[in-house]
Amino acid sequence: MILLALAVQAAAPQTAVEAEHAFRRAAQAEGQWTAFRKFATDDAIVFTPQPEKAQEALPTKNPPIAVQWWPAESYISCDGTTAINTGPWVRPKGSGYFTTVWHKQADGGWKWSLDEGDALSTPRALPDKPRVRTASCASISEPTADPVPPLGDKGGDGTSKDGTLRWHWQVDPAGAREFDAWIWNGKTFVTIVSDKVAASK
pLDDT per residue as tens digits for the range 148-169? 555 555 899 999 999 999 999 9
The overall longest dimension of the chain from CA atoms, in Å, is 55
Per-residue model confidence as pLDDT tens digits over 1-54: 444 444 444 467 799 999 999 999 999 999 999 999 999 999 999 999 999 999
Mean predicted confidence (pLDDT) in 71-97: 96
As a whole number, the mean pLDDT across the chain is 90
**Regarding predicted confidence, which is higher, 11 or 56?**
56
Mean predicted confidence (pLDDT) in 64-77: 97
Mean predicted confidence (pLDDT) in 100-114: 97
**What residues have CB less than 8 Å from 191, skipping those under 6 apart?**
180, 181, 182
The answer on pLDDT for 132 being more than 70 is yes
Answer yes or no: are the C-beta atoms of 49 and 57 closer than 8 Å: no
Query: Which pLDDT score is estimated for 87?
Result: 97
Q: What pairing do the DSSP bridges indicate for beta strands 131-134 and 73-76?
A: parallel
H-state helical runs in the chain: 2-11, 16-30, 32-39, 54-57
The answer on pLDDT for 117 being more than 90 is yes
**What residues have CB less than 8 Å from 153, skipping those under 6 apart?**
171, 172, 173
**Regarding predicted confidence, which is higher, 11 or 180?**
180
Query: Which pLDDT score is estimated for 13?
Result: 72
Answer yes or no: are the C-beta atoms of 144 and 94 closer than 8 Å: no
Mean predicted confidence (pLDDT) in 197-201: 87
